[in-house]
Amino acid sequence: MAGSADLNAVLAQLREKYLASSGNTLAAFTQLAEQLQRDPTTPEVVEALRRELHRVHGTAGSYGFHEASRLAGALEPVAVKWASDPQLDRERRAGIVRQFIRALAGSLQQDQADAASTADALTHRVLLVEVPPEAAPGIVAEAMHRGYAVEQVQATGVSAVFEATQPTIVIAGASVALTVPEGVPLLLLRTPGGAVAPRAAAARVLEAATDPREILMIAESMATRTGLVGVTILVVDDDEAMVALLRSLCERQGMFVESRPDARELARTIDEVRPSLLLLDINLPGINGLVVTRQLKDSPQHRELPIVLVSGSTDVDTRTAAFVAGADDFQSKPVVAEELLRRIERILENARQRQLQQGIHPATGLPLAQRTLRAFDEALMAAAARAEAMSVAVVRPLDPPDGVQRSALWHRELRLLSAALGTDGVLMGFRDETAALLVFPMRAAVALARLEPYAEASRADLVPWSAGVVDLLPGADPSASALAGLAEEAWLAARDNGEYVRRWDPTDTGIAPDVIVVEDDAALADLVTFALAARGLTWVRYNTGPAALDGMRGMRVRGRSPIVLLDVDLPGLDGFSLHERLRVERPGVFRTVFVSVHATEADQLRAIRAGALDYLAKPVSLRVLMAKIASWRMRGAAA
């Protein structure tokens, strides 16, 4: 997935986020100490202290702050005794808690220093320079999720930052006059009516209201130069030996190569293949390559396609004629491998930058998410007003494409699917970094029939996919986001049922995700759900026992049973009671894994005898948890 963060980097950023909230934790304990000073036996205060200690004990260790976890774990049983014996340590309770606060603060300060050292070692940084206040929080959250260290500075402090280290990406307010080091991409955010300062020519200007995910996707594309893996090259040459040579050179770099011996129906071939670049011989049978180039460059549909003309004639007149015809570059024969690859990479990089300026995904030619939603909203609302038949589909791989090669294969699949469906007037763009969103000028039943053969064929590929389709019904919300949400529900049902394409119906609403997280500690829940999302797993979370019970009562489970990560100590209804209720009301539907700081032998035996899949002790090792989830899912699929 483009821009997906390495788990270690995500964890490092989550550690920083947890440490940033430690002030609130210390303030909560301080307030409890003050309440204990006034009345050391108030049951509600003692119970609140126990719960806060319980939370820190489980969460701090899960984030790697083991000393803080140990301190909280040592005091928690003391608070339990205070609850059962109002006279125990009555006059000393406030002082004990204050002593704990001082120890905890010292531990967190040390952890803060250790985390800062870790952040300094990270090579991927986003520098925010006077970003509009309304845009900054979303950008910070998205950048942290992608594994970046984030630093916010005023324009006056930029020079010191550049002297100390070179950031990966710089995002600034459009009114900031800024010069960045060579090779560092600059993205500027403009507010309505705001001034735009003089800027570097390579800077990209976006509206401040742009979705943070799209801002980071564009920034990452600017930060990383075009690679050749996954690029499709169309070679048009009647010399079989030359075609074999070009194919060998390009495929060794991970490119896909299509070839044709002549230029007959070349425009149609381009529409079918959707190449990133055309290598065209000048001396073709029947029609000269110079003429073909002029025809393509005169066509609005094909003029953006980069063309490299190839010829054994290297005289000045031939080269001049090539560029006059509109070629992007000229390659002489015999071909020098390194020279040709440099030309291709340079041309593709220039084309990529142009596409990004237009909000186009370079590898597929499809519009990015925000542009997609705007265009599709207009099309759907116009169709609803005219009562025209329309449907929306979401196409998503069964498993997220990890790694450069699988991502390249997925992008190629989307490019070819767009070419195949485009003749039917189908609109296609990105829904997020992976999934594609399609609008069909036809009913969902017809759209399903069009998609199904392609989805079936994908089962033989490295990146198989399914699709969900939904009709635009009279009176329904015609927005692309609303319809895409329903199509996603249909996709989830199709994936779980082994279907190629599924048409949405009301029974698809409320289908259970892969993992259900029942945890009242928001920080720990964030940690777990970030890791689940990074692995492409669907999830839902609840923070109380009653909310989880109500939610799981109504879930529809198809295919393998979802895994429930169930905290034992929950407000309203404890984990063991929730598990028992589910066993009675929905036997065999969910696979439960208990998670608790209390890992006594008795608790573990109670869980296993109650039919639990496993019992995990807090602090939770994220790596171990994710490995176990993968194993549980495989066992569930094989069952």
Angstrom distance (rounded) from CA 359 to CA 370? 8
Same domain, yes or no: 177 and 67? no
Q: Is 456 left (phi over 0), alpha (psi -120 to 50) or beta?
A: alpha
What integer pLDDT is reported at residue 294 of this predicted model?
94
Domain co-membership, 322 together with 427: no
Model confidence, pTM:
0.56
pLDDT in tens, 78-125: 899 999 999 988 888 998 898 888 888 877 766 555 544 444 444 578
Helices (H), 395-463: 404-422, 444-457
Q: What CATH number did the domain enclosing 199 receive?
A: 3.40.50.2300
**Which DSSP state fits 556?**
B
Is the preceding peptide bond at 619 cis, omega within 30 degrees of 0?
Answer: yes
CA-based nearest residue to 397, from 388, 387, 382, 408 = 408
Neighbours of 459 (CB within 10 A): 12
Q: What angle do CA 160, 162, 166 make, to 5 degrees?
A: 145
d(CA 12, CA 394): 33
Residue that wins the pLDDT comparison between 198 and 72: 72
- Does 350 lie in the same domain as 247? yes
Which amino acid is located at 375 in the chain? A
Q: What tokens were used for 411?
A: 């992008």
Given a cut of 50, is residue 1 above it in pLDDT? Answer: no
Is 182 a domain residue? yes
Say which range, 56-65, 289-298, 368-377, 623-632, has the weakest mean pLDDT.
Answer: 56-65
What gap in Å lies between CA 612 and CA 600, rounded to an integer?
15
Residue 504 neighbours by CB distance under 10 Å: 26
Q: How many CB atoms lie within 10 A of CB 182?
A: 8
Is 364 domain-assigned? no
Please check whether residues 298 and 251 belong to one and the same domain: yes
pLDDT-based confidence at residue 506 (cuts at 50, 70, 90): confident
| Rounded distance between C-alpha atoms, residue 55 and residue 75, angstroms | 12
Q: Return the CATH number at 70.
A: 1.20.120.160
Q: Which of 181, 40, 175, 22 is nearest to 112 (CA)?
A: 22
pLDDT in tens, 327-359: 999 998 888 888 888 888 888 888 887 887 788
pLDDT of residue 2: 37
Strand 436-440 to strand 391-397: parallel, antiparallel, or no bridges (unpaired)? antiparallel
pLDDT at 5: 37
Distance set, CA 72 to CA 18, 105, 481, 614 (Å):
16, 12, 44, 25
The C-alpha atoms of residue 36 and residue 45 are separated, in whole angstroms, by 7
Instruction: Report the alpha-carbon distance of residue 518 to residue 510 in Å, rounded.
Output: 17
Asked if pLDDT for residue 3 goes beyond 60, the answer is no
Q: Residue 385: count other Cβ atoms within 10 Å of its Cβ.
A: 9
Instruction: Give the whole-angstrom CA distance, residue 489 versus residue 467.
Output: 10
**Is the same domain home to 345 and 256?**
yes
214-232 per-position pLDDT tens digit:
788 778 766 655 567 778 8
Q: What are phi and psi of 495, to 5 degrees?
A: -60, -45
Which strands, in side-by-side order, build the sheet including 125-129? 149-153, 125-129, 169-173, 186-190, 204-207
Q: Which amino acid is at 527?
A: L
Checking if the pLDDT of 622 tops 80, the result is no
CA distances, 267 to each of 121, 298, 305, 574, 600 (Å):
51, 12, 11, 66, 71
Q: Which residue has the higher pLDDT, 242 or 573?
A: 573
Rounded alpha-carbon distances, angstroms, from residue 483 to 59, 159, 232, 265, 538: 38, 47, 32, 38, 19
Count of domains observed in the chain: 5
Q: Are residues 297 and 176 in the same domain?
A: no
**Among candidate residues 96, 118, 140, the one where a domain is terminated:** 118
Q: Is residue 81 classed exposed, middle or buried when 0-12, 13-18 and 19+ CB atoms within 10 A define those classes?
A: exposed
**Domain assignment present for 393:** yes
Interval 312-328: pLDDT, tens: 888 899 999 999 999 99
Q: Output the CA–CA distances (angstroms, integers) from residue 490 to 210, 555, 560, in the order listed.
A: 28, 15, 16
Banded model confidence at residue 490, pLDDT cuts 50, 70, 90:
very high
Q: For residue 15, what pLDDT band results from cuts at 50, 70 and 90?
A: low
Q: Where is 159: in which H helix or E strand?
A: helix 158-164
Domain that holds residue 247: 232-356
SS3 track for 302-341:
CCCCCEEEEECCCCHHHHHHHHHCCCCEEEECCCCHHHHH
**530 and 495 inside one domain:** no
Q: Which of 223, 242, 257 is the last residue of a domain?
A: 223
Tokens of 607: 């869980």
Residue 280 shares a structural domain with residue 347: yes
Query: What is residue 73's predicted lDDT score, i.e. its pLDDT?
Result: 83
For residues 490 and 556, give the distance between their C-alpha atoms in angstroms, rounded to a whole number: 12
Structural domain contains residue 1:
no
> Is 2 among the domain residues?
no
Residues 524 and 468 in one domain: no
In contact, 214 and 203? CB cutoff 8 Å = no
Tell me whether residue 443 is exposed, middle or buried, using C-beta atoms within 10 angstroms of its C-beta: 0 to 12, 13 to 18, 19 or more.
middle
For 638, the token pair is 């094989």
Q: For position 432, which CATH number holds?
A: 3.30.70.270
pLDDT at 126: 87
Residue 58 maps to a domain: yes
Residue type at position 178: L
Position 101 in a domain: yes
DSSP summary character for residue 590: -
Answer for the pair 573, 30: CB distance below 8 angstroms, yes or no.
no
Mark whether 42 and 167 lie in a shared domain. no
pLDDT (average), residues 548-559: 87
Length of the chain: 639
Instruction: Indicate whether 501 belongs to any domain.
Output: yes
pLDDT (0 to 100) of residue 58: 75
Residue that the structure tokens 């839902």 belong to: 540
Question: Do both 106 and 138 map to the same domain?
Answer: no
Clarify whether residues 390 and 504 are in a common domain. Answer: yes
Closest CA to 205 of 330, 381, 358, 38: 358
d(CA 639, CA 636): 5
Q: Are 69 and 60 in contact (CB under 8 A)?
A: yes
End position of a domain, from candidates 508, 543, 573 = 508
Q: 259: helix, coil or strand?
A: strand
What is the Cα–Cα distance from 624 to 391, expressed in whole angstroms? 42
Q: What percent of the chain has pLDDT over 90?
A: 34
